[in-house]
């Protein structure tokens, strides 16, 4: 399945930088193999990182830095993750082409674009309205049409489209959210950073067996921004403000702005 066709015009953009990024990801994979158990990442994942134009998803002022192996700041105090971490977390999901994936923390939309090229459908939750709309606009504009972004509290997941073959959480939580475990399909995998906001954090791979049993594996130490939550009120699933971003409306808004 092929998505992101509109990005083909960018194949020759940052060509040397892209190749260098891929080489650094491969080197970092070997250096961390004693932690991760992975000396090599899946070829489909490497190809996705090579094809998706990261410079489309960073701030204009950061474009020259788009392919360094480092996180970069985006709007609203959030970040776009280090390419190696994006590659590793994606690889740990072990997705098939017909997989349905839930992402918690859309951010810039870059991770969702990577997932888009590897799976059937991606549902992504972003609590910050400005980021959600910006990400959906970019994803639609660049041809990642199997991604739908929702504005909501990601802690509770998205029950309406569950169960999911893979769940990826791109911000640290102090505990593994039970709603996300409940929405993971038997045989599915979740990749999530868990730990304190300012202290030790570990990237975990969670596997649910066909019998529904949960297995947890520590992958390696990481550093993520905290998962943003709604404040001052406990939000139960039935009360969540789940708002889907309409890609067609985003296009119309863009035309109106111009």
The β-bridge relationship of strands 100-104 and 164-169 is parallel
Please list the alpha-helical segments (H only) found in the chain: 15-31, 33-36, 43-51, 83-93, 110-116, 129-141, 178-183, 247-257
What is each CA distance from 96 to 2, 110, 118, 120, 218, in whole angstroms? 13, 19, 7, 8, 23
Which one of 10, 13, 34, 81 is the catalytic residue? 81
Cα–Cα distance measured from residue 170 to residue 225, given in angstroms and rounded to the nearest whole number: 8
Cα–Cα distance measured from residue 125 to residue 148, given in angstroms and rounded to the nearest whole number: 9
Q: Check if 196 is active-site.
A: no
Cis peptide before 163 (omega within 30 of 0): yes
Residues with catalytic roles: 81
């Amino acid at each position: 399945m092929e998505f992101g066709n509109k990005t083909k015009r960018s194949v020759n953009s940052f060509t040397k930088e892209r190749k260098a990024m891929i080489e650094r990801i491969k080197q970092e994979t070997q250096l961390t193999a004693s932690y991760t158990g992975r000396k090599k990442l899946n070829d489909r994942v490497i190809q996705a990182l090579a094809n998706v134009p990261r410079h489309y998803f960073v701030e204009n002022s950061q474009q020259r830095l788009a392919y360094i192996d480092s996180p970069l700041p985006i709007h609203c105090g959030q970040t776009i993750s280090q390419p190696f971490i994006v590659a590793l977390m994606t690889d740990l999901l072990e997705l098939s082409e017909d997989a349905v994936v839930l992402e918690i923390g859309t951010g810039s939309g870059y991770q969702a674009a990577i997932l888009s090229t590897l799976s059937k459908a991606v549902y992504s939750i972003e609590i910050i309205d400005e980021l959600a709309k910006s990400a959906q606009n970019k994803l639609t504009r660049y041809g990642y049409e199997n991604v739908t972004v929702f504005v909501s509290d990601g802690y509770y997941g998205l029950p309406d489209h569950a169960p999911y073959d893979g769940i990826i959480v791109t911000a640290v939580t102090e505990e593994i959210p039970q709603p996300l475990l409940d929405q993971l399909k038997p045989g599915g995998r979740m990749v999530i950073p868990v730990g304190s906001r300012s202290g030790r954090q570990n990237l975990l791979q969670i596997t649910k067996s066909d019998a529904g049993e949960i297995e947890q594996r520590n992958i390696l130490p990481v550093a993520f921004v905290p998962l943003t939550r709604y404040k001052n009120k406990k939000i139960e699933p039935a009360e969540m403000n789940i708002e889907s971003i309409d890609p067609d409306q985003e296009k119309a808004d863009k035309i109106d702005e111009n």
